[in-house]
Amino acid sequence: MNPNDYSNSARHASAAALLVLGAATLGESGGRPMRPRLRPVWKGARISAPAYPVRCTPGDNLAIHVAVTTAPAGSALVVDVGDEEEFGYWGEVLTTGAEARRLAGLIIDGGVRDVAALESHGFAAFSTTVALRGAAKQAPGSIGDRATVGGVEVHFGDWVVADADGVTVVPGDALEDVLAAGRARADKEEGLFRDLQAGATTVELLDLDPSPVEIHQHTD
């Protein structure tokens, strides 16, 4: 679903519900987990927002600068920079511009810099690396359509949820189904936690077959 079709209240409700469930649960409930190379730039960063896909020419961030001016408020830039990740494609200048446009965050399959400033601003960012070398600003790119980031093809209208566990993409046309499956999984896990605290084991609760494991018994 196109995020522009949501009312502000519906968008905020979806973002909050996704954030509560978290990237790990959603990734097991119909979401598409990105590769684990995508990590938070600073501890505590979290994103739950409609995706705004960006594709850059490797080593160039012109498309990112343009995307900051065109992305809908409340969305997160999800950026593919090709195979040249070791550039500082994003820093404090772009962060300041993104905040003024009320963007929700950045997920980039490449490098950022000015880490302390990003944390000071409280701007949520996920990247594969931190890099000092600046990017050029003149080559072609694409914004607002699709991009392959962290091994997942992300389309405009999808959602991204990112936290300490990683990044998960929720297809826009499956949002309600993924939310329902995520809530069901979370409820099931709450029951498992109670049973484990009462003395049950994961082998019993998950109906696991322990026979392939060789057990060596020891006595004192």
- Residue 18 near residue 179 (C-beta atoms within 8 A): yes
Does residue 211 lie within any of the structural domains? no
Nearest to 176 by CA among 4, 10, 7: 10
Total tally of structural domains belonging to the chain: 1
- Asked if 169 and 48 count as a contact pair (C-beta separation under 8 A), the reply is no
Give Cα 26 distance to the centre of its chain. Answer: 11
Do the domain assignments include residue 73?
A: yes
Is 77 part of any domain? yes
pTM for the structure as a whole? 0.90
Task: Express each pLDDT in 69-125 by its tens digit.
Answer: 999 999 999 999 999 999 999 999 999 999 999 999 999 999 999 999 999 999 999
**191 belongs to a structural domain:** no
Question: Domain containing 159 — which CATH number?
Answer: 3.50.30.40
Q: Is 189 inside a domain boundary?
A: no
In the numeric block, which tokens belong to residue 115? 């880490």
Whether residue 207 is contained in a domain is answered as: no
Number of residues that this document lists for the chain? 220
Q: Could you tell me where the beta strands, DSSP code E, fall in 11-144?
A: 32-33, 39-40, 47-56, 76-80, 105-108, 111-112, 125-127, 129-130, 141-143
Query: Which residue range(s) make up the domain with 30?
Result: 3-181
Mean pLDDT of the chain: 95
Task: Tell me: pLDDT of 220 over 80.
Answer: no
Q: Is residue 195 part of a domain?
A: no
Q: What is the pLDDT of residue 2?
A: 53
In a domain? residue 194: no
